[in-house]
Each structure stands twice: as structure tokens, then as C-alpha cells.
């Protein structure tokens, strides 16, 4: 697990549910593409991992990235899903 935290203002609960959507941003036009956290989400899911975010107003935000322990575990899962069932 890799965690990244800040001690900023935090994220409003109404916004938190949208942060992994592509092109979602709270910044004004031209100040951000809204691709950062959607890229993290895409990387996590393609790696057979997960990502979570928690935030508290006035205290900051933490993003946690969970990845498989080894590439072998990843490939074992892939092999099982590719084998046709008779």
C-alpha cells in the first residue's frame, strides 16, 4: 500500500464522490485537466489493485493505492480468467 496525504483544506463530501471521474475538476477553466486521480484509478484497476480516498474538512486528504504483492499473483489471476470452462 502506498499512501499520499496532505494537510490542506480537505475535500467537500459532495465533491469526494466524483474525484476519480475523468476530467472532473473544481478548478477554473485552463487551470487543471481533471485527469490526475482518474489516472491513479485506472492504474490501480489495470494492476488488479484498488484505490481509496478519505478527506476531512480542515484536516486534509489521504489517497491510498493498494497493489498486488507480486506480478506472479497478478498473472495467476489472469491465467485463471483466460482458461475456458468446459
What's the number of domains the chain is made of?
1
List the beta strands (DSSP E) in the chain.
2-5, 50-56, 60-66
User: Which pLDDT value is given to residue 38?
Assistant: 94
Residue range of the domain that includes 49: 2-82
pLDDT score, position 44: 94
Residues 1, 50: contact at Cβ < 8 Å? no
CATH number at residue 57: 3.30.565.10
Q: Digits of tens for pLDDT over the chain (86 positions)?
A: 999 999 999 999 999 999 999 988 888 887 777 789 999 999 999 988 999 999 999 999 999 999 988 766 666 666 666 555 55
Element (H, E) at 79: helix 71-82
| Region class of 68: left (phi > 0), else alpha (psi between -120 and 50), else beta | beta
Give pLDDT, residue 27.
Answer: 84
Amino acid at each position: 500500500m502506498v499512501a499520499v496525504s496532505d494537510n490542506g483544506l480537505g475535500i467537500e463530501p459532495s465533491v469526494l464522490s466524483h474525484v476519480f471521474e475523468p476530467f472532473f475538476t473544481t478548478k477554473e477553466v485552463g487551470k487543471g485537466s481533471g485527469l490526475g486521480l482518474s489516472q491513479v484509478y485506472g492504474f490501480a484497476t489495470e494492476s488488479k489493485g484498488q484505490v481509496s480516498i478519505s478527506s476531512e474538512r480542515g484536516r486534509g486528504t489521504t489517497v491510498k493505492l493498494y497493489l498486488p504483492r507480486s506480478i506472479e499473483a497478478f498473472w495467476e489471476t489472469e491465467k485463471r480468467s483466460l482458461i475456458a470452462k468446459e
